[in-house]
Structure 1
Amino acid sequence: MKKSILTFSLAVSLLACSYAQNIVDGNKIPVAGNVKISLPQGFTTAIVAENLGKPRHLTINPDGSMYVKLARAVDSKGVLYLKDTNADGKYEVIKGFGNYGGTGIYTKNGYLYTSSNQEVFRYKLNANNEVADTEHPEKIITGLKMGRQHETKSIVIDNNDNIYVNIGAYSNSCQQEDRKPGSLGVPGCPLLDSAGGIWQFKANKLNQSYGQGTRYATGLRNVVGLDWNNTTNSLFVMQHGRDQLNTLFPDLFDAKTNAELPAECMYELKKGDNAGWPFAYYDPFQKKNMLAPEYGGDGKKAADASYINPVVAFPAHLAPNGLLFYTGSQFPEKYRNGAFIAFHGSWNRAPEKQEGFFVAFVPFKNGKPSGNWEFFANGFAGSDNITSASQAVYRPCGLAQGPDGSIYVTDDKKGTIFKISYNGK
């Protein structure tokens, strides 16, 4: 068995090398210190805000001002309102409010929606898209399940007043003893009743609990990046795949295999979909869902055919934290309606170097991927040889589109916001 796994690992490694062929090298933009961001020709980037704490997701107003959600409140302020008041390309913090940390933030129909790790709030916006009353938000959803891992709540709203909330699984693979070598999976994984999926609620109804919502899709270990695709009128999400295949089941998987499995997956979700976690994981080399070792898998057994397949499979352990479908007109035609993904960076690829710390792009046509994914903005880590995520200078997290068609990228390592624009030169 060990020999076949090693042979498979070599094939995995060779396939993984092909991903690097899409790295952008010809247009490196210095941003700070020794960090240079590689972008396609004609694009440029600049730092527009710094030292904000740990900014996660963000939303941009029609006048270019922005609201930013902090993972942890700074000086009792977990939501920041920023604006470039003197048109110098730098955003100033105008005010902060909301004494709670979290990830999710979204504007829709005259409201600013934000999330803590257990609740979702909304604030009424005035004619200038400013929150007038910062002290009295309305509670939309309360009592969301939160464990000691995957506790963040990301949010997005469709065009029918439905809000979708990720409730991450507070487990790696639903073992009887979490992350203990050899521990088998809990039969049926009962935590899926309240976590490990996407829940749907009403965006205009107050004080809903998760029991009053609908479990829209299940079998998703943890989703941080998600967006509503208006072309398909459907929800797309990015899943963080499971960890530690080799340390939990060393007789079945070696470290090299673990570094490349399972894929980080983009899913298009319909109501009732099941992506398979924890019973299955997606293998991008065999191009199918495989039975998880906690539930009798050995790297060769295919999983139940009822689980949905991803629309795009990315390399393992890259931590996709932001997803944005581009609807602007500033970027060239190939980017219209395509997907940008912000990868936060890996920790579980040793002995291989850690990967991620970039923004990728997937071209779409008629609501479907129309080509391979490619690197769009790379180099945030500041080095090509990262052995620990803590060594990265910047870690991309959130994505948002500005009114001029530029896109903004948050970094929750140094508290930075980048603006990426196209000038055609």
Structure 2
Amino acid sequence: MKKIAIASGFFIMTILVSTVSNAQAEKKKAIQLMASPVDAKLRLPAGFSATIVADGVAGARHIAITKQGGIYIKLGWLNDGKGIIYLKDTNHDGLVDQQRLFGDYPGTGICIRDNYLYASSNSAVYRYALDQNGEVLQPDQPEKIITGLVDHDRDNSKSITTDGKGHIYVNVGSYANACLLDSKSKQAPNPCPLLDSVGGIWQFNTTKLDQRLGDAVHYATGFKNVVGLDWNSQVNALYIMEHNRGQLHELFPEYYTEEQGGLTPAETMYKVTKGSNGGWPYVYYDPILKKKVLAPEYGGDGKKPAATKYQDPTMAFPAHLAPNGLLFYTGNQFPAKYKNGAFIAFHSRSAQLKKGYLVAFVPMKNGQPSGSWEIFADNIMLEKELHKPCGLAEGPDGSLYVTDDTGGRIFKISYKKG
């Protein structure tokens, strides 16, 4: 643990946070490209199959694919001093046969819009111009468009997406679980002074250089940490997946049993607009009670209802599943039910489900869920191997790509009508 002094507004507070060093450490591991198709052995709906595109891509976080089929992957830690890998199928046989590493910073976010590749470190966002083949023109000379974002090691991934209208949306997650002053306190300040710099989404300009937090629009607040987010082009709106708070039983055993602590709060999807407020750290959504309740740090007891001014989620999921990727499917390869629906990569395990490490699907109609969520891809975590889904991307042929930031596999899921 380490102490961090934070000046925010009129408050100065000391918060104890855990130190995570692996994001800064360099890990070099051989990246393996497949000489022939390799069955990934995932459990999928009828008609779907999955292959392993590459293996050993250590720290593979989010992923972006060009219209030519080139694959860009952001690495959570450096490989041979680089934090982005580019994979390419040069002979068009369906197998990746070329790789290139560039970018000297670790991180999570990566996306493509209007002939630019955008990528984030844990405190900044860069952009690279792409040529007519979708390849980076100057890999060693990116433009830094955003700088100085809060990074205190914990929940520090700067996930990004764009809207095609000159805006880029950046998550700045909170490194504090519930705005507590220190590890011994059970009462948090009201208002929470952290919310001016973390716990929300900020909207920046895609073309301006060296923007800081004060230059941005504070687009949405009250969301503890958002690793998965995507722009829904069907309804022209931003959607996010919130990683919720934890430690309810550990901090408040008088209100929550160990079992209850494992079952709440929900992981949540939101459609956010300018001014959206999810209520963190004051409230959380209870998936069992199916409503927002007051957080114990602000007088709650696990039952007291929250103020109605906070936005309800678009959909709620079992607790502690850790949604790391969100993608709205716009392709034509998959059956019609998947069109405009949402795929979600869950990076952890649920006590309620007694399973995890899966890709889920939510059917959507006009930007709203049109049915219950379902497990789409399972068996990613093998018995003796650690594999955790993180990033999602759609290929130009309508296939779904899934990254695994723990085991380093890149999966390609395809559909063939029987």
Give the TM-score, by structure 1 length: 0.87
AA partner of residue 223 (structure 1): V
User: For 1:185, what is the secondary structure of its paired residue?
Assistant: coil
- Residue 146 of structure 1 corresponds to 151
Q: Structure 1 residue 374 and structure 2 residue 343: aligned? A: no
CA distance in 2, matches of 1:67, 1:157: 16
CA distance in 2, matches of 1:93, 1:291: 52
User: CA deviation digits over 1:64-94, x for unaligned, max 9?
Assistant: 1111100011111101110122445432342
- Kept in 1, the 8 Å contact 2:344–2:359? The answer is yes
CA distance in 2, matches of 1:118, 1:92: 32
Unaligned runs of 5+ in 2: 1-37
- Residue 238 of structure 2 corresponds to 235
- Kept in 1, the 8 Å contact 2:90–2:98? The answer is no
| 1:246-265 correspondence runs (5 A) | 246-265=249-268
- Residue 155 of structure 1 corresponds to 160
AA partner of residue 345 (structure 2): A
Give the TM-score, by structure 2 length: 0.88
User: CA deviation digits over 1:150-175, x for unaligned, max 9?
Assistant: 11100000021100000000111111
Offset at residue 366 of structure 1 (A)? 1.6
User: CA deviation digits over 1:344-393, x for unaligned, max 9?
Assistant: 014x85xx78632000000011221000000000111124xxxxxxx762
- Kept in 2, the 8 Å contact 1:164–1:200? The answer is yes
- Kept in 2, the 8 Å contact 1:45–1:421? The answer is yes
Counterparts in 2 of 1:150 and 1:392: CA distance versus 1, 3 Å: farther
- Residue 356 of structure 2 corresponds to 356
- Residue 386 of structure 2 corresponds to 393
AA partner of residue 268 (structure 2): C
| 1:10-409 correspondence runs (5 A) | 31=39, 36-178=41-183, 180=184, 183-346=186-349, 349=351, 355-383=355-383, 393-409=386-402
Counterparts in 2 of 1:190 and 1:355: CA distance versus 1, 3 Å: farther
- Kept in 2, the 8 Å contact 1:290–1:300? The answer is yes
- Residue 21 of structure 1 corresponds to none
User: For 1:215, what is the secondary structure of its paired residue?
Assistant: strand
CA distance in 2, matches of 1:415, 1:119: 24
CA distance in 1, matches of 2:306, 2:216: 29
Offset at residue 128 of structure 1 (A)? 0.8
- Kept in 2, the 8 Å contact 1:48–1:89? The answer is no
- Kept in 1, the 8 Å contact 2:242–2:268? The answer is yes
User: For 1:208, what is the secondary structure of its paired residue?
Assistant: coil
Offset at residue 62 of structure 1 (A)? 1.1
User: For 2:250, what is the secondary structure of its paired residue?
Assistant: helix
AA partner of residue 323 (structure 2): P
Offset at residue 218 of structure 1 (A)? 0.3
CA distance in 2, matches of 1:353, 1:367: 26
CA distance in 2, matches of 1:94, 1:256: 46
- Residue 408 of structure 2 corresponds to 415
User: For 1:360, what is the secondary structure of its paired residue?
Assistant: strand
Offset at residue 296 of structure 1 (A)? 0.5
CA distance in 2, matches of 1:67, 1:83: 9
User: For 1:357, what is the secondary structure of its paired residue?
Assistant: strand
User: For 1:184, what is the secondary structure of its paired residue?
Assistant: coil
CA distance in 1, matches of 2:235, 2:254: 43
- Percent of pairs with identical residues: 54
User: For 2:63, what is the secondary structure of its paired residue?
Assistant: strand
CA distance in 1, matches of 2:397, 2:153: 40
CA distance in 2, matches of 1:238, 1:355: 19
Offset at residue 53 of structure 1 (A)? 1.4
- Kept in 1, the 8 Å contact 2:113–2:164? The answer is no
CA distance in 1, matches of 2:313, 2:253: 27
CA distance in 2, matches of 1:276, 1:297: 13
User: For 1:375, what is the secondary structure of its paired residue?
Assistant: strand
CA distance in 2, matches of 1:135, 1:318: 37
- Kept in 1, the 8 Å contact 2:114–2:164? The answer is no
- Kept in 1, the 8 Å contact 2:293–2:303? The answer is yes
User: For 2:312, what is the secondary structure of its paired residue?
Assistant: coil
AA partner of residue 328 (structure 1): G
CA distance in 2, matches of 1:353, 1:270: 31
User: CA deviation digits over 1:192-215, x for unaligned, max 9?
Assistant: 000100000001111100111011
